[in-house]
Amino acid sequence: MSQLKIYNTLARDKQVFVPIQPGKVNMYCCGMTVYDYCHVGHARMMMAFDVIYRWLKASGYQVTYVRNITDIEDKIIRRAVENGETIHQLTSRFIQAMDEDAAALGILPPDHAPRATDYVPQMLSIIDKLESKDLAYRSDDGDVNYAVRNFPGYGKLSGKSLDDLRAGERVDVNGGKRDPLDFVLWKSAKASEPAEAKWDSKWGSGRPGWHIECSAMSCALLGEHFDIHGGGADLQFPHHENEIAQSEGAFGKPMVNYWIHNGFVRVDNEKMSKSLGNFFTIREVLQKYDAEVVRFFIVRTHYRSPLNYSDAHIDDAKGALTRLYTALAGIDLGSEPVAVTWDEPHAQRLRDAMDDDFNTPLAVAELFALASEVNRSKSVADARQLKALAGVLGLLERDPHAFLQAGSPAQEGGLDEAAILDAIARRAAAKKARDFAGADAIRAALTAAGVVLEDKPDGTTNWRRA
């Protein structure tokens, strides 16, 4: 039996996964800053850890998965003020939108989705510990900063020396810091900021810095030392590096055993980002494409590899997923729930793939190998195994005919099912009357409308949308 191996960013190598507590896994993933709709890059992150979450559970682990919500931050405050609404109104609206988008993509909800604003007391406690260990200091401007050079392990996640490192994108550099690499733990309140962005503390009124939020939430829900911490590759430095400095500095023990980072989404060989203006929200994409097609598009690329976004790639994913559903379409799978037979060869190879750092491209290839056998044999057992194995990845969970006959959102306004069935009936009547030209014309019109007929000697047995 294969052993799960995970590429650990901290070790820069694949390592055999050994949980701290046998049979149990505690996993934390940095979630969204909720001031706008989620984009495809967010979908990629959520999907990567959804697949990891599913595979850990399929492997028999009892998993506690935490994905936080950042609901207080500079951009949130700015957007709420611009909109003339409260911070809570803004964040609640976009949390609901995020949950709707995730559900549409078949992403399982985490076991806990903590909001940063509910954990300010825990943040203050950690900052207090850091100050007592000479790892935090209050600057002249009232902010409390982390003293990076007083933490010997700083840089171990990014693999850079202190002299090589520079302040990251979201690290404010100001005159109150002793060192440009120092980062803010507690921001002194500004008179212009709304009251709901201010909390009382021993250092005066203010609000937490971004990095301390995740240290507090992960520690409160998973403990001071836990198994897996994940997020996008852009969070490796400075965010995750700073989390390590905060948590290990405060508690004097390793924070996390395995660090996992997913790759970027790219458009025309550039990283998808709001700053470049080349991003697409999940909602925009789902207006054009079926949600399971988008899920398949993301899942079939290894989580650490760049994901190249384009309409052509999603169209290709649609064709590939259609082939899998077509293999199941003509087979009665029965009413009993499907379950994986793990000693079957395809399942064993899929397990080997997933145990090798969640290698979904190889796992998906195994689904196609099994689908080819189903097409040849029409075996109910093989078809049920295909559906069950795909379900491990959150795929093929719909009725095959429902998927094949459902148009993508962009096709709405085309022929509905009643019109298609009427055309099929008229074509059958034309053929019976030996009006083959009329029958061909009806078929051509359906093809032009994106409807594919499946003919057998006894007539049209089924149809699907192209």
HSE-up (13 A, CA, CB side) for residue 118: 10
d(CA 362, CA 52): 15
Question: By CB neighbour count within 10 A (0-12 exposed, 13-18 middle, 19+ buried), where does 345 fall?
Answer: exposed
Q: Which residues are annotated as a binding site for Zn(2+)?
A: 30, 214, 239, 243
Q: Which pLDDT does position 168 carry in this prediction?
A: 46
Tell me the sheet residues that pair with 194: none
Q: Which pLDDT does position 272 carry in this prediction?
A: 76
pLDDT for 416-442, tens place per residue?
A: 555 666 667 677 666 667 776 766 776
pLDDT for 350-377, tens place per residue?
A: 999 999 999 999 999 999 999 999 999 9
Give exposure, 434-457, as e/b (b: 16+ Cβ within 10 Å).
eeeeebeebbeebeebebebeeee
pLDDT for 250-265, tens place per residue?
A: 999 999 999 999 999 9
Residue 167 — very low, low, confident or very high, per pLDDT cuts 50/70/90? very low
Q: Which pLDDT does position 426 carry in this prediction?
A: 76
Residue 276: other Cβ atoms inside 10 A:
11
Q: Which of 349, 350, 277 is nearest to 51 (CA)?
A: 350
Tokens of 123: 């943040």
Q: Which residues are annotated as a binding site?
A: 30, 214, 239, 243, 274
Residues in the chain: 466
Q: Which pLDDT does position 170 carry in this prediction?
A: 45
CA pseudo-torsion sign 191, 192, 194, 199: negative
d(CA 367, CA 391): 11
**Residue position matching structure tokens 């709001």:** 274
Tell me the sheet residues that pair with 281: 39
For the chain, which residues make up each domain, given as ranges? Answer: 5-266, 311-399, 417-465
CATH of 5-266, one of 1.25.40.10, 3.40.50.620, 3.30.2320.30, 3.40.50.720: 3.40.50.620
Q: Which pLDDT does position 72 carry in this prediction?
A: 96
d(CA 125, CA 49): 29
Tokens of 289: 């494409």
Query: For 311-399, CATH number?
Result: 1.20.120.640
Residue 410 — very low, low, confident or very high, per pLDDT cuts 50/70/90? low
pLDDT above 90: residue 19: yes
Q: Which pLDDT does position 169 carry in this prediction?
A: 39
d(CA 249, CA 126): 9
Q: Which pLDDT does position 268 carry in this prediction?
A: 75
Q: What Å distances lie between residue 208 and 63, 117, 192, 201, 234, CA to CA?
A: 29, 9, 17, 10, 21
What's the mean per-residue pLDDT of the chain? Answer: 90
pTM confidence score? 0.88
**Residue position matching structure tokens 């999603």:** 314
Q: Which residues are annotated as a binding site for ATP?
A: 274
Amino acid at 98: M
HSE-up (13 A, CA, CB side) for residue 41: 25
Q: Which pLDDT does position 205 carry in this prediction?
A: 97
Q: Which pLDDT does position 2 carry in this prediction?
A: 72
d(CA 31, CA 231): 8
Residue 397: other Cβ atoms inside 10 A:
13
DSSP designation for 185: E
Q: How big is the chain by its Cα radius of gyration, in Å?
A: 26
d(CA 156, CA 245): 10
d(CA 161, CA 264): 24
Query: In the predicted model, what is the mean pLDDT of residues 338-354?
Result: 97
d(CA 7, CA 198): 40
pLDDT above 60: residue 1: no
- Is the separation of the CB atoms in 94 and 71 below 8 Å? no
With the CA atoms of 265, 269, 272 and 276 taken in that order, what torsion angle do they form, in degrees rounded to the nearest 10? 170
Query: Which three-class secondary structure state does DSSP give residue 77?
Result: helix
d(CA 224, CA 71): 23
pLDDT for 312-340, tens place per residue?
A: 999 999 999 999 999 999 899 988 999 99
